[in-house]
Chain A
Amino acid sequence: MIDAPERITLEEWDLRYEKLYRAGLPQPAYGGPLSRHVSDGDHRLLKLRYDNSPAALRLWNFLLTEEDRLHRARAAGKKIVGTMKDLGTVPVMAYSFDNMVAFYPDGAWWIPCVMEYSAGLLEIADSLGIDESFCPVRAMLGAFVTEAHFPIPNMLICSVGATCDDFSAIAQRLNGLGHSIFWWEIPHRRCPEQAEATAELPGGLSAPRCQVEFVKSELARVKVALEQLAGAELDEERLSAGIRQANLVRQSLAELRYLAFTAEPCPIPALEMLVAEMLAIHYCSDRGETMVVLEELLDEVKVRVRAGRGVLDADAAKIFWVNPVADLQVMNLLEDCGGRLCGTEYLFTHALDPIPENVPPLEALARAALADPMAGSSIDRAERICSDVCRFGAEAVLISRIPGASHCALEGQVISEVVADTLGIPVLEIEVPPVADSMSPTVRTRLEALAETVRARRRSRQNRWRNG
């Protein structure tokens, strides 16, 4: 059965699922119609539009069953590690053990959106003094209090230092509620000074050798803590194998991103790409299955690219998206307004770049951790954005400010200035809450205006070209 790629509603997916099911669609154990998650409380799904491929269905089902997997892991006697703030370093270590599963409690920030506030997590955070002046990740506090979403981990590991104050403060509040936390330090990444030994980092960055050594020593502390929890040693060989596995995921995702952002017409919607990128941070609690899910999605995209088929009009405005958005529906809105995703920087590019395999594993992880865009200056981050904008051919940058996030207020300004100075392309900042229904006319106007501006600039360029 060959279907034209398109974005469809949940209702349409249900009908399509029936057809696929009758046609013998192979499904994993967590498969099934998407609408079954609505009865679990995921009401936002009713308002989203999805890619119509079976690969996308698998992606969504994988994402929305993470809590089940964690509970099963607990029942199977596996150790569960909550890796907080760190995006893509400690999970690599944790998955190098046989009896350990890592997950990302910060991911609870999507729950108010997906469940349209019905879980009451933000209200619990409010009652703990963490109100809406903090970023939506405060929902994590509520999830720990209710224990209704993920099992309480055997160990919590949180990176602090050059991270964000919101999360650091929320984690400290959690600690104050009696949850023990293993803190490790990630220093602010700086440029090497004259006469200082330099280390190359992923993403074309560099740092003083001493900073890499410091992070390595911190990760060595984390390793010891994990070994104690696992009751097993994590030798270099196993850790290197873990890194290789992580890199396979990253490699697959890199290929997917490149096709998704550059192929004409756009082969896959923005929403599915957002979900796919999120998998790279923590594997949705199953690294092996993450690989399978991403490969299937990549295969689908390759088929579409080869066939010259896509989900959007060919003239969609190419938008580079900065920061994850609190309401998933806004990714749909971008496309409804005539835009397409053409590059992303969700604050975890270091979790997408390959981890070096030509150096000892702890050293490699330390370099990867130091390449975190949040650990460096906003200027570094802006320069990486500019480089990726050029690589993917984006025509405008959209900065989605995270409501309440302490770093966004000043960082957005620096990124806007650097992008404008370097590339001279339009930059738009928006801010949306976890459920943006009431803001949607305002956001829509801005996104439409951005797409119109991009098209007007295209026309003007074409005219200049015609007129010599």
Chain B
Amino acid sequence: MEKRMICAGIDAGSRAIKVVLIDAESHEIVGEGLADQGVEQDKLASQLFKAVLKRNGANGSDVGAIVATGYGRSAVSIADTTVTEITCHAVGVHRLVPKARTVIDIGGQDSKLLRLDASGRVRDFVMNDRCAAGTGRFLEVTAKRLGVELDALGPLAAGSQHPAAISSMCVVFAETEITGLLASGTAREDIVAGVEAAIAARIAGMAGRSVEPPVIFTGGVAMVSGMTAALQAALKQTVDVAPAPQMTGALGAAILASRQLSGAPM
């Protein structure tokens, strides 16, 4: 049987590198992998890419095109081209949820809200890459300050009776606030719920007055339980988590790679 060409998307994010391989024609996912991000971004991306290929019985000659995305995209030397994570997330989410009109992506160091048209093209986007209080970084700081793992935050938030008010624009000050709350005897559950609500409020602020459904939630923070509920409360909308939310950027990159391979506009 003739071997099908595959295309790859590499999302070099701030916390993790993600690789998705797809069939160049059908766009079916044929392999995927994830590794922690590190200092040697190029090397890590290359190692992960090779490992995913190997795991799926493929080699470099099977790969028609590679697109890199994410903050570290320019460091990925094996990529044929680079595309921003905005475009890649839009393409990836559209592939998984064609009816999606709004995409919320909260990553380790930024957050974005994308508005899509019916064809999945980005109509408009807003981004927060200045204030860590609206990103996954805030959750990391909170987990560290409370001495728990990130995974434990969701269950903790679920037990909150009165979410604490977190008001700082800045994670550094917010950390001081958490210290203050702990000192004044506020329950950890209420602190975590307060932090999740603060992140969600920031996203809602970015969204403005109109959020067109369906709203799809992607990025690593989508896997933190409690965040979806916090977003729903803030947006007063149903929010659905994308299948494999961490991988949508890489998937979008892989689809764009296949378009490049076929000569279609990206």
Contacts and interface: CB of A to CB of B under 8 A. Distances in A.
Asked if A and B touch directly (CB within 8 angstroms), the answer is yes
Interface of A: 116-117, 123, 126-129, 131-133, 433-442
Contact of B201 (A126, A128, A438, A441): A126
Given A133-B169, A442-B176, 6 more contacts: A117-B165, A123-B204, A129-B208, A132-B167, A438-B177, A440-B180
B164 interface: yes
Contacts of A433: 167-168
Contacts of B208: 127-129
B165 A439 contact: no
A117 B209 CA distance: 19
Contact of B209 (A116, A127, A131, A436): A127
Contacts of B201: 123, 126
B155 to A, nearest CB: 22
Nearest to A438: B177
Interface of B: 164-169, 176-181, 183-184, 186, 201-202, 204-205, 207-209, 234
Contacts of B167: 132, 433-436, 438-439
Contacts of B202: 126
Nearest to B201: A123
Interface-central residue, A128, A133, A437, A438, by most chain B CB under 10 Å: A438
Contacts of B207: 127
B209 A438 contact: no
Contacts of A436: 167
A-B pairs with the 8 shortest C-beta distances?
A: A126-B205, A433-B167, A438-B177, A441-B180, A435-B165, A438-B180, A438-B181, A441-B183
Contacts of A128: 208-209
B188 to A, nearest CB: 14
Nearest to B169: A132
Contacts of A438: 164-167, 177-178, 180-181, 184, 186
A436 B177 CA distance: 9
11 contacts: A126-B201, A126-B202, A126-B204, A126-B205, A433-B168, A437-B165, A437-B181, A438-B164, A439-B176, A439-B177, A440-B184
A100 to B, nearest CB: 33
A433 B180 CA distance: 14
A437 B184 contact: yes
B185 to A, nearest CB: 11
A437 B164 contact: yes
A296 B183 CA distance: 40
B161 to A, nearest CB: 14
B184 A441 contact: yes
A126 B204 CA distance: 8
Contacts of A133: 169
A434 B166 CA distance: 11
A433 B184 CA distance: 17
